[in-house]
Chain A
Amino acid sequence: MGSVIIEKMTKQFGEFTALHDINLEIQEGEFFALLGPSGCGKTTTMRCIAGFEQPTSGKIKIGEKEVEKIPANRRNCGMVFQSYALFPHMNVFDNVAYSLNIKQLNASNPVKQLGIYARLLSKRLGRTPKDIQEKVMKILKYVELDQHADRLTSELSGGQQQRVALARALVMEPAVLLMDEPLSNLDQKLRHSMRNTIRTIQQDLGITTIFVTHDQEEAMSMADRVAVMDKGNIVQIGTPTELYSNPLTPFIADFVGTSNIIDVEIVEQINGTIKLKGDNFLLQSTNTIEKKQAKAIIRPEHIQVLPYDTDVNKEEVNVLEGIVLMSTYLGPTVRYDMKVGDQEIIVDTTYSSGISIFEEGRKVKLSIDHGRVLLI
């Protein structure tokens, strides 16, 4: 087990810089997600940690130890590949036993090594030692695959293959578990249940885990902390709630959940309240900002829709007039596209029976707490 520390890591492929000066500190036992759009460098970061790529500059420490000189096969990072990368010529048992066999191989003298090679190449040439068998069966039971130990991996479903890959990485008791978009090949339903499986196992074993994904929901629901990456940079690191309520940039606000990102001009500041001017409407915010031009971030669910004739007379609340452009029924929520001034805004309201949906073209009132208007 160990922490992972990355200091000023840069990775270039020829002229192209895939990673700029990355800094990360991942605690022991933490479930850490790397989140970002396609091509932002998540896989590259992970491959540098695993030792498949050499960083152009910078340091990586696993469990306090610098790993630059340690080749990939001795880094003890268990990796779960996006495509699972199971060995097609071995059954489930042998896939999982592989690392233990290799460990034994590396610790043996050349004569014994020949025997182990023979055993690895053909089952008929030797039996797997008892202790390895026991360990493998234990982990297979753990991922509920002990019934399928003799199957070829091609005879398994996607979710089962995923669990073989996980078991194969876990059985070597790695210092860190690296997972590169492990759920992206699964269908929606399976993905949800595998999220729980992975999270539970991680908590159970307390293993330091780095989890790569471009699905924000996945990252937010599973990870202790999330690093958001963009174009080879780390833009923000924080707990899911921090990222959600305090996005540092419009990019994050947009990437982590849905946001209304509105260009505003600061009109004046009085007693901690800022008056803002948007495109033909006014807003107030209790957040602070030093700039003249800013972006106001408002989450769709932080806006309330009220009938036009409602009187709202509360302090600290923005009341705006809007027109419904479109309403979309999304099950538990209703999403409205609204026009406020000359700005289009998305509003999510919880739908419960008895409340009528405002039809298109209807004039409504919108209320937003001053505190919910974030400024960047």
Chain B
Amino acid sequence: MKARFNGLSVVKILIYAFFGLFLLIPLLAVFLISFTNEPVNIIGSFTDPAILSSSIEKLKAINLDNYRQIFSNAGYLDSLKNSLSLALVVMVLVILICIPLAYGIARTNMPFKKTISALCTIPLIIPTFISAYAFIIMFGRAGWVTHFYELLGGDGMLINPYSMTGIVLVQVFFFFPYALWPLVAAFKISDVTLEEASLNLGAKNWFTFIFVTFPLAIPGIISSALLIFTVSFSDFGTPIVLAPKDLNLMVVEAYREISGFFNWGGAAILTVIMIIVAAFFFWLQHILTKGKNYGSVSGKPKQQKMVTNKVLTRSLSVYSFLIVLVPLLALLSVLLQSVATTWGKDLLPSGYTLKHYQTIFSTSLGNIQNSVILAIGALVLSVIIAIFVSYFVVRQNSAKMDFMTSIPLVVPGIAFGIALIQTFNVAPLQLTGTAILLIIAYTIRRLPYMVRSTMGAMRAIKQDIEEAAINLGATPLTAAITVIGPLLLPGIAAGSVLVFITVIKETSISILLAPPEWAPMSLAIFQNILRAEYYSAAAMSVILVALVLVLQGLANYIGKKQRL
């Protein structure tokens, strides 16, 4: 075949260039800086010989001092240890909590199953720094739980939210749905015939569960556990709000190095380590789940007998309610705080008002507007890129493109933000502090979701459908508009909503990269929390969550329509 140089190949080059410039070069830069301990201007090196020679000088001075420092600098080593143990504890707790819950949803007729399942989505719509903040409202010195605890005769706080325990609890109660649904799927596909055989042989239910059902679900459990590990390790929102001064965590440490001390080398080395750890666990999870697609199997459930034992289903139901109660109460606490005149150390606010919302609509409308504009910007950019990327991956089997656009999945947000700052804070491409860089960062970070969504839709369109249109007289463009487009639309719509939601929820990138005039809602809430302006933080959080809820509803609606 002749290699044709057409419009499409130009687009392909542009996409590679985009990712090279805004993902690969920044990552490379952090990597280099972690050795040189000084900023290296890679882009400048291409345009300015003077910068090039200074870069070369710096690269000559490469040393491992920084890496030795990890072991000498107690702070770094501590932060790594703390972050790893945080992730480990959260991982174990989430799995322990989720197993009965997943079993209840997947295999029993427990009462209120639908309600419980619906409540389990609450944690997913709340950004973690708002959850963390909700925990302060509940468990803080002036929290209503604390008050309640004292009423019952307790002394001091039940749990100090500003502690490792506080961080663990927030993450456990707000990350468990990530593990729940894969686990439900794993329990659903467990081989029912084996279980029935075991029961037929006279085995008791619990025996069957421990020796047949549970072992069959183990691959699913391990993979969910690894996912939780990565999510907890990369989470920025919870630690930044709750970590006390004396608790070092990698994400917080890296943030402080870059935004507090401008310590390039330190930030870079923390970033590199974070990426390596996250990538390693992501990779581990990937090889474990390879070839096992729980989602698609569960689409065609075999006839399964549901456990109906009353004692078991009722206790599972009560248990599940207790689990989902925590996020629900957290959300309600934020809601109450947002309409409270004052809420001291008491079970309920002393009075109610809409004043905080008025304040927001008079002074902070800009933040909402910024969020929406930035999200739309990222959305448009990712739709365009994702359509082409999925075309190249699906129709031209471009594995390189597939790989490259999946890289952002393993890079923790804070790490990506630091990489971008270090690359774009100097000429010739000084973009730090512009809305453009912010939009690009959001886009790259969330593109994998968009690509998956469009790629799925693109895969479902067989090549011969496109050819049939052409055979019937349509030009490739007409075929794209009248056949491919309409068939791709549901995938694009679903992906768009997801991108929009995640951008609005995005914390780390916003906090690191957003300039004051482009501060989105998440940054505004964060700053309010830092300034202890809790009431307006609450009101803004409610608006953010409401926005996410509306969009999520839209996504569900589209999804349902698509399945019809």
Q: Enumerate chain A interface residues (CB-CB to B < 8 A).
A: 13, 50, 52, 54, 72-74, 76-79, 81-83, 85-89, 98-99, 102-103, 105-106, 117, 120-121, 168-169, 172
Q: Is the CB of B483 within 8 A of A172?
A: no
Q: Is the CB of A73 within 8 A of B474?
A: yes
- Cα distance A77–B471 when bound, in Å? 7
Which residue of chain A has its CB nearest to the CB of B482?
Answer: A120
Which residue of chain B has its CB nearest to the CB of A82?
Answer: B464
New A-B pairs, 6, CB < 8 Å, besides A50-B471, A79-B467, A87-B468: A13-B1, A73-B472, A73-B476, A81-B468, A120-B482, A121-B482
- Cα distance A368–B80 when bound, in Å? 90
Digit string of B187-201 for contact with A (CB within 8 Å is 1, else 0)? 000000000000000
Q: What residues of chain B lie closer than 8 Å to A168, measured between beta carbons?
A: 468, 472
Chain B residues 432 to 466 lying within 8 A of chain A, measured CB to CB, are 462, 464-465
Task: Given A73-B475, A102-B478, A105-B478, decide whether A87 and B469 contact each other with a Cβ distance below 8 A.
Answer: yes
Count of residues in B whose CB is under 8 Å from the partner chain: 22
Which residue of chain A has its CB nearest to the CB of B468?
Answer: A85
Q: How far is the CB of B8 from chain A (nearest CB, A)?
A: 16
B546 contacts the other chain (Cβ, under 8 Å)?
no
- Cα distance A252–B485 when bound, in Å? 46
Q: Is the CB of B464 within 8 A of A83?
A: yes
- Cα distance A107–B468 when bound, in Å? 20
Task: Given A105-B478, A121-B482, decide whether A85 and B465 contact each other with a Cβ distance below 8 A.
Answer: yes
Q: How far is the CB of A51 from chain B (nearest CB, A)?
A: 8
Q: What residues of chain B lie closer than 8 Å to A120, measured between beta carbons?
A: 481-482
Q: How far is the CB of B558 from chain A (nearest CB, A)?
A: 15
- Cα distance A85–B462 when bound, in Å? 8
Which residue of chain A has its CB nearest to the CB of B460?
Answer: A88
Task: Given A89-B486, A121-B482, decide whether A98 and B472 contact each other with a Cβ distance below 8 A.
Answer: yes
Q: How far is the CB of A120 from chain B (nearest CB, A)?
A: 5
Q: Is the CB of A72 within 8 A of B464?
A: no
Digit string of B524-545 for contact with A (CB within 8 Å is 1, else 0)? 0000000000000000000000
Number of residue pairs spanning A and B whose beta carbons lie under 8 angstroms apart: 73
Digit string of B484-497 for contact with A (CB within 8 Å is 1, else 0)? 01110000000000
Q: What residues of chain A lie closer than 8 Å to B476, measured between beta carbons?
A: 73
Q: How far is the CB of A47 from chain B (nearest CB, A)?
A: 9
Q: Is the CB of A72 within 8 A of B471?
A: yes
Which residue of chain B has its CB nearest to the CB of A165?
Answer: B468
Q: How far is the CB of B359 from chain A (nearest CB, A)?
A: 44
Chain B residues 1 to 54 lying within 8 A of chain A, measured CB to CB, are 1-2
Q: Is the CB of A99 within 8 A of B487?
A: no
What are 30 A-B contacts with C-beta separation under 8 Å?
A50-B471, A52-B470, A52-B471, A54-B2, A72-B470, A74-B473, A77-B471, A79-B468, A79-B471, A81-B467, A83-B464, A85-B462, A85-B465, A85-B467, A85-B468, A86-B465, A86-B468, A87-B468, A87-B483, A88-B465, A89-B483, A98-B474, A98-B482, A102-B473, A103-B473, A117-B482, A120-B481, A120-B482, A121-B486, A169-B471
Q: How far is the CB of A250 from chain B (nearest CB, A)?
A: 35
Q: How far is the CB of B115 from chain A (nearest CB, A)?
A: 34
Q: How far is the CB of B473 from chain A (nearest CB, A)?
A: 4
Q: What residues of chain A lie closer than 8 Å to B467, measured between beta carbons?
A: 52, 72, 79, 81, 85
- Cα distance A74–B473 when bound, in Å? 6
- Cα distance A83–B466 when bound, in Å? 13
- Cα distance A54–B2 when bound, in Å? 10
Q: How far is the CB of A289 from chain B (nearest CB, A)?
A: 44
Q: What residues of chain A lie closer than 8 Å to B472, measured between beta carbons?
A: 73, 98-99, 102, 168-169, 172
Question: Interface centre among A50, A89, A117, A121, by most B CB within 10 Å?
Answer: A89
Q: How far is the CB of B140 from chain A (nearest CB, A)?
A: 54
Q: How far is the CB of B226 from chain A (nearest CB, A)?
A: 37
- Cα distance A73–B476 when bound, in Å? 8
- Cα distance A83–B461 when bound, in Å? 12
- Cα distance A78–B467 when bound, in Å? 11
- Cα distance A77–B464 when bound, in Å? 15
Q: What residues of chain B lie closer than 8 Å to A73, measured between beta carbons?
A: 470-476
- Cα distance A358–B462 when bound, in Å? 54
Which residue of chain A has its CB nearest to the CB of B463?
Answer: A85
- Cα distance A99–B479 when bound, in Å? 11
Which residue of chain B has its CB nearest to the CB of A88?
Answer: B487
Which residue of chain B has its CB nearest to the CB of A83?
Answer: B464
Task: Given A121-B482, A121-B486, decide whether A85 and B464 contact each other with a Cβ distance below 8 A.
Answer: yes
Q: What residues of chain A lie closer than 8 Å to B471, measured between beta carbons?
A: 50, 52, 72-73, 77-79, 169
Which residue of chain B has its CB nearest to the CB of A102?
Answer: B473
- Cα distance A13–B487 when bound, in Å? 30
Q: How far is the CB of A217 from chain B (nearest CB, A)?
A: 26
- Cα distance A81–B470 when bound, in Å? 13
Q: How far is the CB of B46 from chain A (nearest CB, A)?
A: 36
Q: What residues of chain B lie closer than 8 Å to A88, measured between beta carbons?
A: 465, 487
Digit string of B97-119 for contact with A (CB within 8 Å is 1, else 0)? 00000000000000000000000
- Cα distance A50–B472 when bound, in Å? 11
Q: Is the CB of B468 within 8 A of A172?
A: no
Q: Is the CB of A99 within 8 A of B473?
A: yes
- Cα distance A168–B485 when bound, in Å? 21
Q: What residues of chain B lie closer than 8 Å to A102, measured between beta carbons?
A: 472-474, 478
Task: Given A79-B468, A85-B462, A85-B468, decide whether A172 and B486 contact each other with a Cβ distance below 8 A.
Answer: no
Which residue of chain B has its CB nearest to the CB of A122?
Answer: B486
Q: What residues of chain A lie closer than 8 Å to B464, measured between beta carbons?
A: 81-83, 85
Q: Is the CB of A172 within 8 A of B473?
A: yes
Q: What residues of chain B lie closer than 8 Å to A117, measured between beta carbons?
A: 481-482
Q: What residues of chain A lie closer than 8 Å to B487, measured between beta carbons?
A: 88-89
Which residue of chain B has its CB nearest to the CB of A13?
Answer: B1
Q: Is the CB of A87 within 8 A of B473?
A: no
Q: What residues of chain A lie closer than 8 Å to B485, measured between beta carbons?
A: 121
Point out the residue from B469, B475, B481 that lies within 8 Å of A98, measured CB to CB.
B469
Q: Which 8 A-B pairs have the closest CB atoms?
A: A99-B472, A85-B468, A85-B464, A102-B473, A79-B471, A120-B482, A73-B470, A81-B464
Which residue of chain B has its CB nearest to the CB of A72?
Answer: B470
Q: How far is the CB of B173 from chain A (nearest CB, A)?
A: 42
Q: How far is the CB of B457 from chain A (nearest CB, A)?
A: 12
- Cα distance A106–B479 when bound, in Å? 12
Q: What residues of chain B lie closer than 8 Å to A82, measured between beta carbons?
A: 464
Q: What residues of chain A lie closer than 8 Å to B483, measured between beta carbons?
A: 87, 89
Q: Is the CB of B473 within 8 A of A106?
A: yes
Which residue of chain A has its CB nearest to the CB of B487?
Answer: A89
Q: Is the CB of A83 within 8 A of B462?
A: yes
Which residue of chain B has its CB nearest to the CB of A178?
Answer: B471
Q: How far is the CB of A42 from chain B (nearest CB, A)?
A: 15
Digit string of B352-392 for contact with A (CB within 8 Å is 1, else 0)? 00000000000000000000000000000000000000000
Q: What residues of chain A lie closer than 8 Å to B486, measured between beta carbons?
A: 89, 121
Which residue of chain B has its CB nearest to the CB of A50?
Answer: B471
- Cα distance A73–B468 when bound, in Å? 9
Q: What residues of chain B lie closer than 8 Å to A85, measured between beta carbons?
A: 462, 464-465, 467-468
Q: How far is the CB of A227 from chain B (nearest CB, A)?
A: 22
- Cα distance A73–B478 when bound, in Å? 10
- Cα distance A168–B464 when bound, in Å? 14
Which residue of chain B has its CB nearest to the CB of A75?
Answer: B471
Q: What residues of chain B lie closer than 8 Å to A50, measured between beta carbons?
A: 471
Which residue of chain A has its CB nearest to the CB of B473?
Answer: A102
Q: How far is the CB of B336 from chain A (nearest CB, A)?
A: 46
Q: What residues of chain A lie closer than 8 Å to B474, measured between beta carbons?
A: 73, 98, 102
